[in-house]
């Protein structure tokens, strides 16, 4: 159950278990061969969970560096004193090349037009970078026929240090999908053709780390698995593959209403009581990241029992039907995500209720929800 934090203002908060983060990191490390480096993905504010405590714990337990998506994320990490390599996954554009140099970032480059601006920015600060090559995902990447031109251009321009080739798997959540082997073959061919077989090559994300050792190369990029959710969802949950849940989400009962039979609840009156009912109001809504699709579908945990969410999710509140409980009090803690006694709501279960994936559950968690790093040993 929730630790009792002193929550000023709106009593809706997250607890982020840093010990579970470390456990999941070690699980990734155990899946790769000695010498394969781990660069955890902490983009989007650590998948919405608060990047700084997570990044510092990951680096303390052996991460070589971190993967991010934006310059703003890099600035935040550097300002916090993080000096380890930061890999800019989302690539480069001419207007951020100077910042890439100033903050000592290692970008993915996937367009020929980005190489000249990178060299100009590297006149005072040499830049190490990766060429992202197209192997079949249908998104970013230099086409195979562009690779010789890119390599020749890099050789002629000052200040640039090409670390290696990278690509990204489209179907790593389905280990047996034929596209995984096809993309692996395409990357292997490009490495041979470019003469970069001994470079710092990366292809594997969470799913491939756990299921495709032939894709591990020099370094890997664990993401969703670090945060406790399965990269193979909906085929399994994190706990079924040795991961520990990281996120617990709590709120407190704000108001209790006793309503007669036939009373509507919330916008559109999409829930109507079929008996005299005790409806509790919780101060959490879609502005906090509690998906609007959870209305009339989700459950919460109260007193170790599953309680249905009734009516539509509002911007700032939801309603739950507590009629089956013998006693309910204003201020009682309610678990939206996590464990209460023998019951647990996982990110995968919440994702299934709104037909999405755990990534979206985490990254949609609102800025106004307080986030507290904790240790599971203190639970």
User: Which residue among 39, 43, 134, 286 is the active-site one?
Assistant: 43
Q: Residue 191 in contact with residue 155, Cβ under 8 Å?
A: no
HSE-up (13 A, CA, CB side) for residue 165:
27
Distance CA 42, CA 193 (A): 32
Distance CA 323, CA 307 (A): 9
Radius of gyration of the chain (CA): 24
- For residue 26, what are the contacts with CB-CB under 8 A and spacing of at least 6? 61
Return phi, psi of residue 362, to 5°: -70, -50
Does the bond joining 234 to the residue before it have cis omega, within 30 degrees of 0?
Answer: yes
Beta strands per DSSP E along 136-241: 160-166, 219-220
Distance CA 359, CA 167 (A): 20
56 is catalytic: no
User: Which residue among 64, 132, 227, 267 is the active-site one?
Assistant: 267
Return phi, psi of residue 243, to 5°: -95, 155
Distance CA 379, CA 358 (A): 23
Q: How far is CA 45 from the centre of its chain?
A: 8
Residue 103, SS3? Answer: coil
Residue 57, SS3? Answer: helix
Residue 16, SS3? Answer: strand
- For residue 145, what are the contacts with CB-CB under 8 A and spacing of at least 6? none
Distance CA 54, CA 192 (A): 37
Q: Residue 185 in contact with residue 148, Cβ under 8 Å?
A: no
43 is catalytic: yes
Where in the sequence numbering do the catalytic residues fall? 43, 267
């Amino acid at each position: 159950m929730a630790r009792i934090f002193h929550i000023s203002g709106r009593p809706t908060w997250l607890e982020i278990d840093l010990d579970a983060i470390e456990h999941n990191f070690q699980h990734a490390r155990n899946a790769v061969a000695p010498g394969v480096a781990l660069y955890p993905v902490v983009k989007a504010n650590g998948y919405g969970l608060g990047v700084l405590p997570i990044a510092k714990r990951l680096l303390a337990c052996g991460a070589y560096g971190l993967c991010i998506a934006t310059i703003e994320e890099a600035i935040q990490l550097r300002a916090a004193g993080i000096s380890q390599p930061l890999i800019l996954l989302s690539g480069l554009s001419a207007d951020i090349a100077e910042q890439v140099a100033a903050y000592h970032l290692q970008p993915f480059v996937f367009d020929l037009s980005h190489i000249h601006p990178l060299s100009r920015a590297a006149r005072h600060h040499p830049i190490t970078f990766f060429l992202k090559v197209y192997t079949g995902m249908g998104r970013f990447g230099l086409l195979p026929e562009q690779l010789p031109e890119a390599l020749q251009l890099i050789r002629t321009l000052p200040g640039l240090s090409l670390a290696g080739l990278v690509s990204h798997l489209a179907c790593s959540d389905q280990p047996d999908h034929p596209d995984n082997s096809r993309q692996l073959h395409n990357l292997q061919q490009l490495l041979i053709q470019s003469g970069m077989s001994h470079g710092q090559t990366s292809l594997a994300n969470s799913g491939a780390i756990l299921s495709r050792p032939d894709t591990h190369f020099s370094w890997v990029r664990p993401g969703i698995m670090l945060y406790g959710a399965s990269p193979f969802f909906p085929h399994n949950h994190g706990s079924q593959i040795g991961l520990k849940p990281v996120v617990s989400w709590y709120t407190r009962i704000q108001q209790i209403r006793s309503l007669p039979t036939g009373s509507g609840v919330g916008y559109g009156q999409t829930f109507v009581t079929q008996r005299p009912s005790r409806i509790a109001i919780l101060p959490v809504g879609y502005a906090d990241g509690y998906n609007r699709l959870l209305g009339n579908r989700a459950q919460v945990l109260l007193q170790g029992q599953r309680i249905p969410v009734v009516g539509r999710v509002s911007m700032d509140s939801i309603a739950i039907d507590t009629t089956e409980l013998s006693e309910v009090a204003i201020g009682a803690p309610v678990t939206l995500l996590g464990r209460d006694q023998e019951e647990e709501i996982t990110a995968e279960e919440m994702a299934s209720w709104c037909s999405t994936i755990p990534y979206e559950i985490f990254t949609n968690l609102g800025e106004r929800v307080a986030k507290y790093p904790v240790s599971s040993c203190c639970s």
